[in-house]
Amino acid sequence: KSTHLQPSNSKFLYMLPYVALGFMSSKFDETAMNLALIQIEQKLGIAKATAQWLNTIYYISTAAFAIPMGKVAERFGLINSGICFHLLVACISLGCFFINNFYGLLVMRFICGAFIGGQIAVRNTVLAKYPARAKAQKYIGFTMITNQVSSIVIPYAAGWLLELDFHWLFITTFSISLLASFSLIFFQQASQQTKKQKFDIFGATFLMLCIAGFCLMFTLISYEQYLFAGISFTVSFISLISFYFVEKKHVDPVLPLYLFKNPISDIFLLNVVSFSMAIGINWLVPQILMDSQRSGFVGSLQAVMALISAISLPFINKKVIGKYVVVGCYSVLSVAFLLGFALSQNTTAFIVLCVISSFFISSIVQQLYPMTLLSVSQQLAGKVAAFPTTSRTVGNSISLCIMSTITALIVEKNHNLEYEVALKKGAQVDFLFLLAACILGLIDCIFRIGCFRNEKGKFGYKESKIRELKQEEELLNVMKDIKTEETTKINQSQAVTIIQQKEELLNVM
């Protein structure tokens, strides 16, 4: 074990192999599958709205299992669990190479998403716990740049492999995951949770049913199965209500609602919006271009723009508060999506708009990422480590289903036109959906997001606009926890000690 890879004192240069390979393990899988959907539609003979479920089921599984898998990692060791998650993804990817059935792939994608969720939760926790606190934000910035450099190669490599066959994408994921597991061996183990954990099985189940039911509704609408779409929505709504009440009562919930307040709740919403825009643009590119290598090349150009964003953002952040950066990006994107609606029939204009939009979407995501991890104390970082993953899943799943449904309905309505022309008409309406999501994020950011104390001295900073969790709300939830069935067995003196310990924890924030 390296002395340079220990909790609260790790050096980024030594973390770099894991940071790069851990990111590529999940990023290649997601990017490649998005580019492969058209080939999968043709080879397996399935509809567009059905094929996108290979991505949607993956994202839903990632959201549902990210936090439970994160808790498994805390219980059995962060590093050991990370190694296991990567090895399991490698095994599943190898299995996918031999499958030629849509439903078989769907099941494997669901299982893969669960362990990818664990990978991401471990990676986020490592980034929060292993660097010194003073260097955490700086290291997160380095990580974003590293990720964007990796992202330049991934789309073009995936496009080239698709010229052979989509199955070879799984062999690549298999290889990267093996290397990522090896890179974790050199990390020193972080402290483990010694108490027995209660896993929120019902919470994870209701979360899956809620997102899956809502997304399935749009797929059923694309098939004009309106009765079943209504049933699917009802299941989603009931699951959402059930999820809320289960989370309120559970000792260790999937989403800790006592933390789910401004600013975390609004950062979560902005993440949902930004990820829905990102996946929307990425989904449109191969659908409109219908050429894997050209789509991969455009994806690489988008990654270059994201890299430029990652490099330039730290300099902007030295002068301007994060809120102003996000508001500015949403404003530019609103204009870009409006132009996309007007110019999507022109392939060149479509490509230019998608590439430029990537710069501003990436800027928003990179701005929100450290805001999420650093919105709580380092001791509570594990509690919010899976929030970006969950918000990404919600945004990606809903956006994929809505946009594929819109496109399928418009192509069907314009069946008398050439297929490519009908697709571009669908893209026009898809840009309106992206515009609506963008305006929602802009309004929320303007009226709900404030500034942070560490932004003092920057343009836009005002003491009256500081947004932070209230200790009184946290303490109230601590007291509620003590009233649960699990904690009523503790005597009065032990309960007072727990409250005092958590008060000290909150004072760090």
User: Rounded CA gap, 79 and 72, in Å?
Assistant: 11
Residues 35 and 141 in one domain: yes
Residues 275 and 321 in one domain: yes
User: Rounded CA gap, 373 and 384, in Å?
Assistant: 7
Residues 494 and 385 in one domain: no
Place of tokens 């949770």: 193
Question: Domain ends where: 465, 482, 499?
Answer: 465
Residues 188 and 334 in one domain: yes
What's the confidence (pLDDT) of residue 380? 66
Residue 243 belongs to some domain of the structure: no
In this structure, the number of other CB atoms found within 10 A of the CB of residue 489 comes to: 7
Residue 212 belongs to some domain of the structure: no
The domain of 392 spans 12-199+252-465
What's the confidence (pLDDT) of residue 4? 64
Residue 234 belongs to some domain of the structure: no
Overall residue count recorded for the chain in this entry: 509
In the chain, the amino acid numbered 247 is E
What's the confidence (pLDDT) of residue 255? 75
Give the residues across from 320 on adjacent strands: 459
Residues 435 and 494 in one domain: no
What's the confidence (pLDDT) of residue 381? 63
Q: What is the CATH number of the domain that holds 417?
A: 1.20.1250.20
Cα radius of gyration (the chain): 22
Residue 204 belongs to some domain of the structure: no
What's the confidence (pLDDT) of residue 435? 95
Residue 6 belongs to some domain of the structure: no
How far from 161 is each of 24, 157, 173, 464, 474, CA to CA, in Å? 16, 6, 12, 54, 50
User: Rounded CA gap, 86 and 72, in Å?
Assistant: 14
Residues 171 and 123 in one domain: yes
Own/partner contacts of 301-306, CB < 8 Å, gap of 24 or more, are 301/355, 301/358, 302/155, 302/354, 302/355, 302/358, 303/148, 303/151, 303/152, 303/154, 303/155, 303/358, 304/152, 305/355, 305/356, 305/358, 305/359, 305/362, 306/148, 306/151, 306/358, 306/359, 306/362
Nearest to 118 by CA among 58, 65, 179: 65
Residues 267 and 386 in one domain: yes
Under 8 Å between Cβ of 330 and 101: no
Task: Give the chain's domain count.
Answer: 2
User: Rounded CA gap, 384 and 268, in Å?
Assistant: 10
Residues 342 and 486 in one domain: no
3-state secondary structure of 164: coil
Residue 171 belongs to some domain of the structure: yes
Residues 501 and 396 in one domain: no
Residues 150 and 73 in one domain: yes
Residues 382 and 481 in one domain: no
Residue 59 belongs to some domain of the structure: yes
3-state secondary structure of 459: strand
Residues 263 and 287 in one domain: yes
Residue 220 belongs to some domain of the structure: no
Q: In tens digits, what is the pLDDT along the chain, a chain of 509 residues?
A: 566 677 766 777 778 888 888 888 888 888 889 889 888 988 888 888 888 899 889 988 887 787 778 778 877 888 888 899 999 999 999 999 999 999 999 999 999 998 988 888 888 778 777 776 666 667 777 777 777 788 888 888 888 898 888 999 999 999 999 999 998 888 877 766 656 666 778 888 898 899 899 989 988 988 888 999 999 999 999 999 999 888 888 777 777 777 777 778 888 899 999 999 999 999 999 888 888 888 889 988 998 998 888 888 888 888 888 889 999 999 999 999 999 999 888 889 999 999 999 999 999 988 887 777 666 666 666 667 667 777 887 898 889 889 988 888 888 888 787 888 888 888 889 999 999 999 999 999 988 888 777 777 888 888 777 776 654 345 345 545 534 444 454 444 454 444 444 444 444 44
